[in-house]
Structure 1
């Protein structure tokens, strides 16, 4: 469920003062509409430049995602915008990131962004999984797998992002992954599989086209047919739960993509 967004300017004065201590005098802030996990998401312009700020109340049930992003960020140079500062003040936890000037990735079949996203996932595959607390892919999918033995396919020791929604990919001269709230440890091929589902949902690819792009990621080549089938079925079950009985149009689109991909792999 999406977290309700509030204006950066409505933060308590002590929090704003903490930001100014880190980033410089605040000139203006522009709320960002994309994203679901943060109460605060804004591009903040200060006397020293601009940065992207996201935050949650310290007692929010998902505040751990803020700390997860802060912990993983040092390992993501060239993959994600750099974390510039953190503020914990007056009941709020805020992170200030390097501001990117690109656009959200276009996943449509003829998009010039697709090779850059493929290159991004190749580069992520070269990043060693850091020795920090991370959720495990097999644990996250345990409630959705068709059978318990499927979970072994998802286990691994690679750093994976797991949310390849095109709004989490910023593209300029290169592509960058943002929003690492759900960073996990798992099989190396899983992000390519997540990308395939999002190519179908956000880019309107058919299964064959989506998999041709996934195949550009070296780790995908190591995925066994039964492993990808298990993932496709689990992902469809996950989106069935998220959608419920009356999904909004956005969720319904992703649910449809996950169902079509699962059907494709069941028939493979």
Structure 2
């Protein structure tokens, strides 16, 4: 379920004081309009520049994603915003980042953004997977894979983001970077390009056109045919489950439809 969103100004005064010891006085704060997993997600405007604040109650079931982002941030130079600090105070877990300038990526068929995303995925692929605790791709997909033998296709040593939602990709002057690393995963190198395919289809690309864009990412060429079918089917099962929880949610319905288009396309190729 989505986390209830509050504004920065609704945080306890003790918590805001601790944040402003790091950022300096906050002149104003603008809440993000996208994202579901943070109680506070706000751009903080200060005299020394913009910062981004993410916060969850310290007892929230997803607070581990805050720890994961803090652990991985030092390893993401060039592909993600720099982390200033993580604070734990007053019952809150807070991450403070340098704010990225730019806009959310446009994945539509007529957009000029996909080449920047290709470059971003190449940069992630060239980033060494750090020796920290990470989710495992095969474990994450286990419940959505009908044949356990297919899980071997998803294992590997590569660093993966796994949530290529265009709202996570910030484009500025032709360069793309990606935020929200809480679900960072270790697995097969081609998986991030495959996750992108689903979002491209949801944005209006045909499955064939989406895969052509993914094919510009070098790691895609290592994907086994059977692995692509198994992954598309796993995404189909995952998004059918998510959509089943709230069939009136147009966002999840769009992803569920895209996943079924991709499954049908992959089965025809098999």
On whether the aligned pair clears a TM of 0.5, the verdict is yes
Instruction: Give the secondary structure class of the aligned counterpart of 1:196.
Output: helix
Give how far 1:25 is off.
1.1
Name 1:244's counterpart in structure 2.
244
Name 2:201's counterpart in structure 1.
200
* Residue 74 (structure 1) aligned with residue 100 (structure 2): no
Name 2:215's counterpart in structure 1.
215
1-structure distance, mates of 2:111, 2:84: 31
Name 1:131's counterpart in structure 2.
131
Name 2:20's counterpart in structure 1.
20
Name 2:187's counterpart in structure 1.
186
Give how far 1:166 is off.
0.4
Name 1:94's counterpart in structure 2.
94
Name 1:265's counterpart in structure 2.
266
Give how far 1:267 is off.
1.3
Name 1:116's counterpart in structure 2.
116
Aligned residues: 267
Give how far 1:45 is off.
1.2
Root-mean-square deviation (CA, aligned residues, Å) is 0.9
2-structure distance, mates of 1:46, 1:245: 40
1-structure distance, mates of 2:244, 2:109: 29
2-structure distance, mates of 1:154, 1:245: 26
Which range is displaced more, 107-116 or 252-261? Answer: 107-116
- Equivalences for residues 37-76 of structure 1 within 5 A: 37-76=37-76
The one-character-per-residue Cα deviations of 1:78-118 (angstroms, maximum 9, x if unpaired) are: 10011112221100011111111100000011211110001
Name 2:224's counterpart in structure 1.
224
Give how far 1:36 is off.
1.2
Name 1:9's counterpart in structure 2.
9
2-structure distance, mates of 1:72, 1:36: 21
- Deviation >6 Å, runs of 4+: none
The one-character-per-residue Cα deviations of 1:149-201 (angstroms, maximum 9, x if unpaired) are: 01110000100000000001000021001111110000000000000000011
Gaps of 5+ in 2: none
The one-character-per-residue Cα deviations of 1:185-244 (angstroms, maximum 9, x if unpaired) are: 00000000000000011x210011100000011110011110000000001001111111
TM-score by length of structure 2 reads 0.97
TM-score by length of structure 1 reads 0.98
1-structure distance, mates of 2:91, 2:261: 44
Name 2:254's counterpart in structure 1.
253
Which range is displaced more, 236-245 or 99-108? Answer: 236-245
Give how far 1:143 is off.
0.2
Instruction: Give the secondary structure class of the aligned counterpart of 2:144.
Output: coil
The one-character-per-residue Cα deviations of 1:118-164 (angstroms, maximum 9, x if unpaired) are: 10001110011000000100000000002100111000010000000
2-structure distance, mates of 1:123, 1:182: 18
Name 1:175's counterpart in structure 2.
176
